[in-house]
Amino acid sequence: MRTHPPTTDPLDTYTLNMGPQHPSTHGVLRLLLTLRGEEIVTAEPVIGYSHRAHEKMAENRTYAQFLPNTSRQDYLSGMIYNFAWVEAVEKMAGIPVPERALVARVILAEFNRIASHLLWIGAFLLDLGAPTPFLYCWDDREAILFLLESVTGSRLTYASGRFGGLARDLDADFPRRAREVIAKLRARWPEYDRLIEDNVIFRNRAIGVGVLTRDQCRSYGVTGPTLRGSGVPYDVRKAEPYGAYPRFEFDIPTRPEGDVFARYWVRVQEMRQSVRIIEQALDQLPGGPFLEPGSIGVKKRLKLPVGTQYYAVESARGHYGILLVSEGGAEPYRAKFRTPSYPNLAVLTEAMPGTLVADAVAILGSTDLVMPEVDR
Amino acid sequence: MDALGASVSAPTEHPFSGAAEARWVAPGRLVEASRVLREAGYFFESMTCVDRIAAHGVFELIYTFNRWEAASRVAFRVWAPATEPVPSISGVFGAANWNEREAWEFYGLAFSGHPNLTWLLLPEGTEFHPLLKSFTAPPASSYDDSLTAPPPPDDAHPPAHH
């Protein structure tokens, strides 16, 4: 792709500022691009615009008080983040979780993953100049948000996990409504394939563009669909199975090319795998309590034993890790959130040089960044 | 790893869970120890700085690495004196570049050999380290220039007249 040797001669290059308010950055991200003609020589992400000090806040709140913060890190897969916090605390404190809650969490988390991928597809295609998919994806996503709202009371920033279960039970009608949403989603897939995957304009903008090598992914800790688009079948749900995931059958879609198209394709296939998981979970949804009887309510003070624990889940964007340090108090001594968008953005400093400025938008979009998650 | 002699004896009994292996590494052996993992196919997973100044006068650095195939987390725990720079591993793992910048700005811990140790998430020029336990609130004028800037001259904003 590169037509000239790299240069740092200031007379040969110029600097282009992209963002922090740019329609394609989806949040507040600034890219400092050094260009020669249309070729990117260096790309330096400038971040921190939506830093809210979640890690400092965690040190000043009880474990339960931090629950609403979790879904505000990645507001597109907030359910997964919320459950990750709950599960990390449960694991460290040794709190049992009823079977029904474990399976219900998987159902809610996988619906949230599909909603996140749908939003990404719509917004990403919009970046590339295709407004139609956006409207279809929004319609599908709305059905999911409506379903999740009926259980949790929230559309986006969920806080429905509780230490030892869930805040509210899935109602008796939930499986029927969930299957209706699945039928709606499934009916749309062939349309998406014809509209997007077979579209020659999209293919020309995506195939062979923004290739991430496996070694770059390893060096930066790239995970999630972005990594699986580079042919690596790494998924925390399989690598370190948690919750009720071990009892469901699903595949990890991968594609070896490592380009924008591969990352698109992986996410589309992942939605189908999520539906597979949800259908099994609905079939197997056990009865019984949704919250461990006599479990620790949000108002009681929960203290964790002294120690450090690392706990990871697979969010819609990749490996989300929570490192909790407890000194035995009612608040964490330290809570570190290893968010997947952070390395997925950092790697672009290596992946962007040598590409054209017109491709920068496609490459940036294909990594599915959520800036509040990068900045925390 | 053992051949390297990178491990040091545990300076604290504080337990670590969630990793297949957690070992204490001396700051001086950090670069070579992480290179061993890089060459063995591990990816950079996370890095955390913990303020243990009040109790021990040190920062505890926790690096975790993992593998794609047969996941197996390795944690390096480094007992880093607060006043001495820690060798940067950004030459071994690209991800360390941003993580070390974050530890520098939030804790004031320096990393030697880092190519660009500057602010990442905090505004450029921030002079406090918010994740230190001793930090409570930023000075009043930290983010708002209008609080310290001299007032504008009187004729800068003539009164509106109708």
CA B35 from centroid of its chain's CA atoms:
19
To test the contact with chain B by mutation, choose from A51, A54, A220, A236 the residue with the greatest count of B C-beta atoms within 10 A, namely A220
CA A361 from centroid of its chain's CA atoms:
19
**A145-178 pLDDT per residue, tens:** 999 999 998 888 898 888 888 988 999 999 999 9
Average pLDDT score over chain A: 88
For residue A1, what pLDDT is reported?
46
Give me the residue label for tokens 């390297």.
Answer: B4
Paired sense of beta strands A161-162 and A165-166, if any: antiparallel
The domain that contains A236 carries what CATH number? 1.10.645.10
Residue B101's pLDDT band (boundaries 50, 70, 90)? very high
Residue B162's pLDDT band (boundaries 50, 70, 90)? low
Identify which of B120, B103, B119, B122 has the alpha carbon closest to the alpha carbon of residue B50: B103
- Rounded Cα gap, residues A284 and A175, in angstroms: 11
- Rounded Cα gap, residues A322 and A224, in angstroms: 16
Identify which of B50, B93, B142 has the alpha carbon closest to the alpha carbon of residue A333: B50
- Rounded Cα gap, residues A267 and A229, in angstroms: 9
Residue A1 included in any domain: no
A338 and B50 within 8 Å at the Cβ level: the answer is no
Residue A195 included in any domain: yes
Whether A351 and A212 have beta carbons less than 8 Å apart is answered as yes
Tokens at A105, concatenated: 């969490």
Which domains are seen in chain B, by residue range? 2-149 (3.30.460.80)
Whether A208 and A263 have beta carbons less than 8 Å apart is answered as no
Per cent of chain B over pLDDT 90 is: 43
To test the contact with chain A by mutation, choose from B121, B133, B135 the residue with the greatest count of A C-beta atoms within 10 A, namely B121
| Cβ within 8 Å of residue B136, ≥6 positions away | none
The total number of structural domains that make up chain A:
1
A221 and B16 within 8 Å at the Cβ level: the answer is no
Residue A350 with chain B: CB contacts under 8 Å:
94
B93 and A220 within 8 Å at the Cβ level: the answer is yes
B94 and A350 within 8 Å at the Cβ level: the answer is yes
Identify which of A245, A246, A226, A243 has the alpha carbon closest to the alpha carbon of residue A234: A226
Q: How far is B14 from chain A (nearest CA, A)?
A: 5
**Per-residue pLDDT at B155 exceeds 60:** no
- Rounded Cα gap, residues B152 and B60, in angstroms: 48
Q: Which one is predicted more confidently, A129 or A294?
A: A129
Domain that holds residue A53: 14-374
Residue A283 included in any domain: yes
pTM of the entire predicted model? 0.87
Which residues face A312 on adjacent strands?
A321
A323 vs B41, B62, B130: nearest CB: B62
